[in-house]
């Protein structure tokens, strides 16, 4: 079932590549690290930004029925009472009486401590929200929470957005931002963190149309991952059964990815009825009704919520793209990223550090960097430089050689097929633009079409 590259990829390889090449570092590493908090390095920050930008472009800016917002991490404490998080955002915690290690009771298969075999305490409910204090006095009246999801920011602003943007149903409100959960068990690198980022949509629909829109959003989001290059055999939908659903939820499906440790949730799509707006309307005393101009009815819309994790997305894109093969008789590691999310789009590689080659290569580099993130590399052999770029997923290498001075042409090498083609420098930008335009990577489509390039 698993694709060839998932036979090659292990979490250890991903973690070590991420550290070596500057994708992800452990938070506060020089102090021994802080559990389940991570820092994104120079390449990681570009990758993460590209994923969020692609989501924002496709889900917000390209659609007539979506608007974006950005709400604060700290919210009125009543928000979390109304949303049910104070009462229900719990995990069952058990502690080993012998070694004091803590576990999530529902993750254990046996009634004893996995670390030392000791006896466990009875489970107690542990609220996963981080607390802090607002203002100088640390008393209960000053308690505020770090949000455990961005979603509540959309619900409490529902009326503000309707009034100010005059959106008609169906429409959605989207945001990306940090969330915090005091998870009992973390691990698997950036899969489960205590501080992470989400990309969430609340899509408001007329009651009675929720089934159609639920199906629409499950497909829309599943297909988005395919369009972004994730292999179909690494993705799966998991529909929640009735027993798993929250009491108000009408339906829920997870989009799962085949991580090296097994299938895991990448994104959840939930049909939540009018639960959230009802709760906030009752708790705040403010009407959150939608006034339907066509039917003259006033009602609370139903909502469909596609909720994705950015960090899990980064991990999925890294694992999906990871591959190993041989090039020129040498082993190479490649990240076969979709060009749209690749942190570096092209590398300029002069065959010599000397003039006049250096000036020509620099001028090409300066010209390209006004459009894209590009790297300039003039150290070590050309083979080594190709390997370095393959390993960080750069789709194109542009080699500037002595002949380039004579004929004003450069060699463009494509990462996946390693095909090389010579094109005029004057055609370079347009050629790269066409190739980087975000075409979906499906089998076969990444193969270099030399005819097409020659015409560019």
Q: Cβ distance 403 to 409 under 8 Å?
A: yes
The torsion angles phi and psi of 342, rounded to 5 degrees, stand at: -55, 130
Among candidate residues 393, 369, 373, 397, the one with its CA nearest the CA of residue 383: 397
Task: Please identify, using beta-carbon distances, which residue of 246 and 447 lies nearer to ligand ATP.
Answer: 246
> Is residue 36 within 8 Å of 327, Cβ to Cβ?
no
Question: What DSSP string runs through 6-73?
Answer: HHH--HHHHHHHHHHHTSEEETTGGGT--TT-EEE-HHHHHHHHHHHHHHHIIIIIT-TTEEE----S
Least distance from ligand ATP to the Cβ atom of residue 265, Å: 5
Contact 194, 35 (CB under 8 A): yes
Nearer to ligand ATP, 181 or 280 (CB): 181
Cα separation values, 209 from 98, 155, 381, Å: 54, 19, 61
Q: Closest separation between CB of residue 354 and ligand ATP, Å? A: 49
Residues engaged in binding ligand ATP (CB under 6 A) = 149, 181, 183, 192-193, 196, 198, 265-268, 307-309, 311-312
Least CB distance from residue 288 to ligand ATP, whole Å? 22
CB 159: neighbour CB atoms within 10 A?
17
- Tell me the closest approach of the beta carbon of residue 309 to ligand ATP, in angstroms: 2
In the bound state with ligand ATP, the residue whose beta carbon lies nearer, of 312 and 415, is 312
**CB of 21 or CB of 312, closer to ligand ATP:** 312
Which of 341, 410 has the CB closer to ligand ATP? 341
Q: Which long-range contacts (CB under 8 A, 24 or more apart) does 412-418 make?
A: 412/453, 413/386, 414/446, 414/448, 415/334, 415/336, 415/389, 415/390, 416/334, 416/336, 416/446, 416/447, 417/446, 417/447, 417/448, 418/327
Q: To the nearest whole angstrom, how small is the minimum distance from the Cβ of residue 87 to ligand ATP?
A: 16
Please state, in angstroms and rounded to a whole number, the distance separating the CA atoms of residues 193 and 181. Answer: 8
Nearer to ligand ATP, 76 or 104 (CB): 104
Smallest gap from residue 282 Cβ to ligand ATP (A): 23
Q: Which residue is nearest to ligand ATP (CB)?
A: 309
Least Å from the CB of residue 312 to ligand ATP: 4
The smaller minimum CB distance to ligand ATP, of residues 176 and 394, is found at 176
**In the complex, what is the shortest distance from the CB of residue 186 to ligand ATP, in angstroms, rounded to a whole number?**
7
Task: Please state the separation of Cα 164 from the chain's center in Å.
Answer: 29
């Amino acid at each position: 079932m698993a694709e060839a590259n998932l036979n090659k990829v292990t979490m250890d390889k991903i973690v070590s590549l991420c550290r070596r090449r500057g994708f992800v570092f452990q938070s506060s590493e020089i102090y021994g690290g802080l559990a389940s908090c991570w820092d994104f390095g120079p390449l990681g920050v570009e990758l993460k930004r590209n994923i969020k930008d692609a989501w924002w472009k496709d889900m917000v800016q390209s659609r007539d029925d979506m608007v974006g917002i950005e709400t604060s991490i700290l919210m009125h404490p009543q928000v979390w009472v109304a949303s049910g998080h104070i009462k229900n955002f719990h995990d069952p915690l058990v502690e080993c009486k012998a070694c004091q290690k803590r576990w999530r009771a529902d993750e254990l298969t046996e009634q004893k401590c996995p670390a030392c075999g000791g006896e466990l305490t009875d489970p107690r409910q542990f609220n996963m929200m981080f607390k802090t204090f607002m203002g100088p006095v640390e008393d209960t009246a000053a308690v505020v929470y770090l949000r455990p999801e961005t979603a509540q920011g959309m619900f409490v602003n529902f009326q503000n957005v309707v009034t100010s943007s005059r959106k008609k149903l169906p429409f959605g409100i989207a945001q990306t931002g940090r969330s915090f959960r005091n998870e009992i068990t973390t691990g698997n690198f950036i899969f489960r963190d205590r501080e992470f980022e989400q990309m969430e949509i609340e899509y408001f629909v007329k009651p009675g149309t929720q089934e159609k829109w639920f199906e629409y959003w499950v497909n829309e989001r599943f297909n988005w991952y395919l369009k972004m290059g994730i292999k179909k055999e690494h993705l799966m939908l998991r529909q929640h059964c009735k027993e798993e659903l929250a009491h108000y939820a009408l339906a829920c499906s997870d989009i799962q990815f085949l991580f090296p440790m097994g299938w895991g949730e990448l994104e959840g799509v939930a049909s939540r009825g009018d639960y959230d707006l009802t709760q906030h309307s009752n708790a705040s005393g403010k009407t959150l009704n939608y006034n339907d101009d066509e039917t003259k009815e006033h009602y609370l819309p139903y909502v469909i919520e596609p909720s994705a994790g950015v960090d899990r997305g980064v991990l999925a894109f890294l694992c999906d793209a990871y591959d190993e093969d041989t090039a020129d008789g040498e082993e190479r590691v490649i990240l076969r990223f979709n060009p749209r999310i690749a942190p570096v789009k092209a590398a300029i590689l002069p065959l010599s550090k000397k003039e006049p080659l250096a000036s020509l290569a620099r001028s090409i580099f300066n010209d390209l960097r006004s459009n894209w993130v590009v790297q300039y590399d003039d150290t070590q052999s050309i083979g080594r430089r190709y390997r370095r770029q393959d390993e960080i997923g750069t789709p194109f290498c542009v080699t500037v050689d002595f002949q380039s001075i004579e004929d004003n042409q450069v060699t463009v090498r494509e990462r996946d097929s390693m095909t090389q083609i010579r094109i005029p420098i004057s055609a370079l930008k347009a050629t790269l633009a066409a190739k980087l335009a975000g075409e979906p990577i499906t089998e076969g489509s990444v193969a270099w079409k030399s005819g097409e390039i020659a015409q560019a």
